[in-house]
Structure 1
């Protein structure tokens, strides 16, 4: 039994470039596909409302947001809210699809999804279209040789990255850098799970890597689809940066790096020393507390867990002003919070650790997480956020080590003396 193709929405972020928009819409009109799709032009506050040329043969909706700077992430989100399509294809306004683009993206998205969401990146190539007439550019997109168009080098960092990961089939957590929003497709379920693009990104770059990071943690499968080819008019960002001064290029890239360090907690993105609102490791302390000095063992355990790692601790059973309060001293640490872990924090944390009794580990918490998923029943459980979101089975159990050298998990007695514990006596 064959199923009808899912409805598709193509979202085009746009700002004040009518000739290029017209050309892009004409390129979408010549798609060779059996898939019904609609187009949403998301205007990022252009001085004049974009004009939709007649005779496209596809439904087109125009939506607008105020001009508050370069807000491509917010524009894409706006466009996505104005289509009920099951599959969302994002295509930048300066990127022109070849006639097989939509069909190739849809086919790969449908084949890829295993129930945890799918993300597909098309192939973006670069050309200098110069002043070639629009009809000639459309012929070029169809594969014809057209004089006056110069094909530019493909960015080596993308080409090599897709080759190394077998077109993202063997991608790992560091490969979010291979996700580019200019030629991006996701299914609606994944889009809803990750909350779309982060609309707080203003300025060029970074929002697609942030979305890719959250999609990875959400459990999505990724793919790069070479058959979904679209042409960008001009070089990629690296090529444009090479033509500017080194200082200007570094400033632009550093602006992006500083923004991403707030939301992607990998050491390769933010280093290892900062204490930021978004931790790499989320710890939930699920045991009882009293809000008095009787919580000394809890305090000792949390101090040990936080030592030298990028982590935050939440006490879901505690409230800021209720009878179940945070243990004394811990309330003064900005990494320790009462209540549930916010959803936005969970979407970006690599690891989730549950602790039910005061304990200390034989190695720093980040090393224990890097060792793999495991649990000691009734004491501690270490899970990867991606594994949890993919519904993978519980990790192997490890017993509490007997007294001896280098135990993996050592309980902290309720009657611990903090003076002796911290003093090493």
Structure 2
């Protein structure tokens, strides 16, 4: 299991206790936590005893962000399967045996997410084009349980596939967009994302006041990440529309986000993916009969 933690403190210990307590074979579980430059008071804390012995904490002296922290944790993990989650989650009974049963080569599992404070459930996500955000699926998938985007707090993947895909895009900054970009890249590589309702992760979503404070400090990075995601995958005819939408919605952030886009080599990234992935974005559009966010067909070029 890999999880990044920034100023999560005791929540990490509670997550570890839940994961091991709900596991069928807890002795087979290895948990790698990346302390993503937490403040002294917010560093991950895990109680002594069996829980502590199953955990490795890797400390970073600089703020890596979600993608790089997950990648670092994955490099330190030794198991065949990686379960990517957050530092404030609870696990359904037998989650480990279900993951081993359902995983397969070229398959990524997306697990069900439940809000700890309500009855809300999320069943993977669907892509919003050309904004390049996501909406949760709030109903379970049908008989063919494929989803566009895996659940960010519950993604199960074989290590070999994770390494083949190159992990999460470290050209993105801090927060937002990592799971959608990784998922689209996985589909374009020939993998599939299958949702399961047999594993349920209870997740602590930020209360409104925390969300407001978080967005105030992270918005420019979030806009950049959406733009980088779209530049990497969208048909060229939609990239300008994506930029226009973000400029209208976030006029105070768009200029710096565009500068970051150039500085971090977004177009070079696009060229690399086009040369290395066996399927183009047009294939992904056809695979899911995608429409844009106002219901128009998505162009294939």
TM over 0.5: yes
Alignment-derived partner of residue 63 in structure 1: 58
User: Could you give the per-residue CA deviations for residues 381-416 of structure 1, whole angstroms, max 9, x where no partner exists?
Assistant: xxx9xxxxxxxxxxxxxxxxxxxxxxxxxxxxxxxx
Check 1:346–1:33 CA distance in 2 against 1; reply closer, same or farther (3 A cut): farther
Task: Assess if the C-alpha contact under 8 Å between 1:105 and 1:225 holds in 2.
Answer: no
SS at match of 2:50: coil
Q: Pick one of 171, 180, 199 that aligns with 1:209.
A: 180
Does structure 1 residue 229 correspond to structure 2 residue 195? no
2 CA distance for matches of 1:253 and 1:16? Answer: 20
Does structure 1 residue 259 correspond to structure 2 residue 259? no
Does structure 1 residue 45 correspond to structure 2 residue 37? yes
| Alpha-carbon offset, residue 122 of structure 1 | 0.9
SS at match of 1:107: helix
Task: Assess if the C-alpha contact under 8 Å between 1:180 and 1:209 holds in 2.
Answer: no
Task: Assess if the C-alpha contact under 8 Å between 1:264 and 1:348 holds in 2.
Answer: no
Task: Assess if the C-alpha contact under 8 Å between 1:40 and 1:83 holds in 2.
Answer: yes
1 CA distance for matches of 2:89 and 2:13? Answer: 12
| Alpha-carbon offset, residue 266 of structure 1 | 4.5
| Alpha-carbon offset, residue 240 of structure 1 | 5.2
Alignment-derived partner of residue 9 in structure 2: 18
Alignment-derived partner of residue 30 in structure 1: 21
| Alpha-carbon offset, residue 118 of structure 1 | 1.7
2 CA distance for matches of 1:348 and 1:269? Answer: 20
Task: Assess if the C-alpha contact under 8 Å between 1:123 and 1:228 holds in 2.
Answer: yes
Which is higher, the Rg of structure 1 or of structure 2? 1
Alignment-derived partner of residue 159 in structure 1: 137
| Alpha-carbon offset, residue 96 of structure 1 | 1.8
TM-score normalised according to structure 2 size? 0.68
Task: Assess if the C-alpha contact under 8 Å between 1:217 and 1:347 holds in 2.
Answer: no
1 CA distance for matches of 2:237 and 2:156? Answer: 26
Query: Per residue, is there more helix in 1 or in 2?
Result: 2
| Alpha-carbon offset, residue 219 of structure 1 | 1.2
**What does residue range 103-122 of structure 1 map to in structure 2 within 5 Å?**
103-109=97-103, 113=104, 115=105, 117-122=106-111
1 CA distance for matches of 2:67 and 2:10? Answer: 23
2 CA distance for matches of 1:81 and 1:59? Answer: 17
Check 1:62–1:165 CA distance in 2 against 1; reply closer, same or farther (3 A cut): same
1 CA distance for matches of 2:138 and 2:119? Answer: 16
2 CA distance for matches of 1:218 and 1:54? Answer: 42
Check 1:18–1:263 CA distance in 2 against 1; reply closer, same or farther (3 A cut): same
Q: Gaps spanning 5+ residues in structure 1: where? A: 1-9, 129-150, 280-311, 313-341, 353-365, 373-383, 385-425
| Alpha-carbon offset, residue 256 of structure 1 | 4.0
Count, aligned residues: 248
**What does residue range 11-410 of structure 1 map to in structure 2 within 5 Å?**
11-34=2-25, 36-48=28-40, 49-57=43-51, 59-68=54-63, 71-109=65-103, 113=104, 115=105, 117-128=106-117, 151-155=118-122, 157-160=135-138, 162-163=140-141, 166-168=144-146, 171=147, 175=148, 178-234=149-205, 254-266=223-235, 270=239, 276-279=267-270, 342=272, 344-347=273-276, 350-351=279-280
Please give the root-mean-square deviation of Cα atoms over the aligned residues, in Å: 3.8
SS at match of 1:231: strand
Task: Assess if the C-alpha contact under 8 Å between 2:20 and 2:29 holds in 1.
Answer: no
The higher relative CO (CA closer than 8 Å, separation ≥ 6) is in 2
User: Could you give the per-residue CA deviations for residues 108-131 of structure 1, whole angstroms, max 9, x where no partner exists?
Assistant: 11xxx2x4x221111111022xxx
Q: Gaps spanning 5+ residues in structure 2: where? A: 124-134, 244-265, 288-301
